[in-house]
């Protein structure tokens, strides 16, 4: 009897050792997924058995039971998290288990581009299938109220950047992050602003920054262009900047701006109205905000494009007209 018990214990130990060795080998061997990486999705509120079956169904595992045993032996079964994951080709079952345990989900992203307007921002949000769409039928004014903003016009109040997020994050959450980022950066920049600027508040500086953003084709000229517009504001000269006219035209703009457009009055037509327009006309980046708050010290009142993205700056109308003839009229021939 004693010998039988010893033999049974020995066989049990041998079997357990073989099983453990097999599990160790399995857990540390690459899964060799095809192709080189694979996207997987684990449903919310899934238990260990359900997760293992989902991994089998998605072609990650050949069978569920070894993965289940590893998770139980390592006491990880209660800590596996749902979400979307990107698996490398040679990920091991153990590494997969740790990823699910730590919730290292694949993050999606969205990029808001400097110089884009709020309509273009909304289009980017609508086309991003990783975002949960909650604002499709919400008005601009309602969106701004939900952000506790004092402004009902959204234009220019969102910071252009790349935002990373977990899939099914709401569009409202992304807007909140972008809005908060702009408020923080604008406030800090406003505190460090140059002296004797013709702005009543940081919002007016943001309006100027949006104009600089749309007018600048060469990054090194931002401060100079801001200096020209500030000089005009100081002497009561109209800004006369085409991007504001285009913004005021809205969907009527067809890619060309004509003399009649410059003469057609809108709240944004800086040829017919003095001072700054009533709101920003686009999302300015931080460089344009800094330019608006630290403009170049210049006597220039005019600038004209040279056709390569850069400009010629002039202190008076005579110089400007000569530059127009030299660069604009000759290039149009």
Q: Which two tokens stand for residue 18?
A: 């073989």
Among 235, 270, 233, which residue's Cα sits nearest to residue 249?
270
Q: What is the pLDDT of residue 5?
A: 57
Say if strands 83-88 and 37-42 run parallel, antiparallel, or are unpaired. Answer: antiparallel
Q: What is the pLDDT of residue 27?
A: 85
Output the pLDDT for position 111: 95
How confident is the model at residue 115, as a pLDDT? Answer: 96
Contact between 31 and 92 under an 8 Å Cβ cutoff? The reply is yes
Contact criterion met (CB below 8 Å) for 40 and 58: yes
Angle between helices 202-215 and 222-235 (to 10 degrees): 120
CA separation for the pair 207, 102 (Å, rounded) = 44
Instruction: Please state, as a whole number, how many other Cβ atoms lie within 10 Å of the Cβ of residue 83.
Output: 19
Per-residue pLDDT of the chain (333 residues; tens, 9 = 90+): 665 555 555 555 555 566 667 777 888 889 878 777 788 889 888 999 999 999 999 989 999 999 999 999 888 888 888 888 888 888 899 989 988 988 777 778 899 999 999 999 999 999 998 899 999 899 999 999 999 999 999 999 999 999 988 878 899 999 999 999 999 999 999 999 999 999 999 999 999 999 999 999 889 999 999 999 999 999 999 999 999 999 999 988 888 889 999 999 999 999 999 999 999 999 999 999 999 999 999 999 999 988 888 899 999 999 888 888 888 765 555
Task: Tell me the pTM.
Answer: 0.77
> How many residues are given for the chain?
333
- Kindly list the distances between the CA atom of residue 231 and the CA atoms of 5, 36, 225, 274, 285, in Å, as whole numbers in the listed order: 100, 58, 10, 13, 22
pLDDT of residue 12: 58
- Residue located via tokens 């809005």: 179
Q: Is the dihedral of CA 178, 183, 184, 186 positive or negative?
A: positive
In Å, how far from its chain's centre is CA 28?
38
| Residue 330: predicted pLDDT | 59
pLDDT of residue 331: 56
The answer to whether 288 and 253 are in contact (CB under 8 A) is no
Q: According to the model, what pLDDT value does residue 140 have?
A: 95
Angle between helices 93-102 and 65-73 (to 10 degrees): 60
Burial call 307-330: b when 16+ CB within 10 Å, e when fewer: eeeebbbbeeeebbeebbeebeee
DSSP, residue by residue, 7-59: HHHHHHHHHHHHHHHHHHHHHTS----SSSEEEEEE-TT--HHHHHHHHHHTT
Residue 189's pLDDT is 98
Q: Which CATH superfamily is domain 20-102 in?
A: Endolytic murein transglycosylase (3.30.1490.480)
Q: For residues 213, 218, 222 and 223, what is the CA-based torsion angle, rounded to 10 degrees?
A: 180
Let me know: does 215 contact 282? Beta carbons within 8 Å. Answer: no
Tell me the chain's radius of gyration from C-alpha atoms. 31
CA distance 290 to 123: 28
Task: Please name the residue that has the structure tokens 């500086």.
Answer: 205
Q: Which two tokens stand for residue 53?
A: 């079956």
For the chain, give every domain's residue range: 20-102, 107-187, 194-331
The pLDDT of residue 309:
83
List all residues 6 or more positions away from 188 whose beta carbon is below 8 Å from its beta carbon.
none
3-state helix, strand, coil in the chain (%, to 5): 50, 10, 40
Q: State the DSSP string of 141-155.
A: HHHHHHTT-S-S--T
Q: How many angstroms separate the Cα of 2 from the Cα of each of 5, 10, 162?
A: 5, 12, 71
């Amino acid at each position: 009897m004693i010998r039988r018990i010893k033999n049974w214990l020995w066989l049990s130990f041998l079997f357990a050792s073989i099983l453990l060795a097999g599990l160790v080998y399995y857990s540390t061997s690459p899964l060799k997924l095809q192709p080189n990486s694979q996207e997987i999705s684990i449903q919310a509120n899934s238990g260990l058995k359900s997760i293992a079956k989902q991994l089998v169904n998605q072609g990650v595992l050949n069978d569920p039971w070894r993965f289940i045993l590893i998770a139980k032996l390592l006491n990880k079964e209660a800590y596996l998290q749902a979400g979307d994951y990107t698996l490398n080709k040679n990920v091991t079952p153990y590494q997969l288990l740790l990823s699910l345990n730590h919730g290292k989900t694949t993050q999606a992203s969205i990029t808001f581009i400097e110089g884009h307007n709020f309509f273009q921002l909304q289009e980017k949000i609508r086309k991003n299938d990783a975002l949960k769409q909650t604002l499709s039928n919400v008005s601009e004014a309602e969106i701004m109220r939900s952000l506790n903003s004092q402004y009902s016009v959204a234009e220019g109040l969102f910071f252009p950047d790349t935002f990373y997020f977990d899939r099914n994050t709401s569009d409202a959450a992304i807007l909140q992050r972008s809005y908060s980022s702009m408020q923080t950066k604008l406030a800090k920049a406003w505190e460090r602003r140059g002296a004797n600027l013709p702005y009543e508040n940081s919002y007016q500086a943001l309006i100027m920054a949006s104009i600089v953003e749309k007018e600048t084709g060469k990054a090194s000229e931002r401060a100079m262009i801001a200096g020209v517009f500030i000089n005009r504001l100081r002497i009561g000269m109209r800004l006369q900047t085409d991007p504001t006219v285009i913004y005021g035209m809205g969907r009527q703009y067809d890619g060309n701006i004509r003399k009649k457009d410059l003469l057609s009055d809108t709240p944004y037509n800086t040829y017919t109205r003095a001072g700054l327009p009533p709101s920003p006309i686009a999302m300015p980046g931080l460089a344009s905000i800094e330019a608006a708050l630290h403009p170049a010290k210049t006597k220039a009142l005019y600038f004209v494009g040279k056709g390569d993205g850069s400009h010629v700056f002039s202190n008076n109308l005579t110089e400007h007209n000569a530059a127009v003839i030299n660069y604009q009229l000759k290039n149009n021939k």
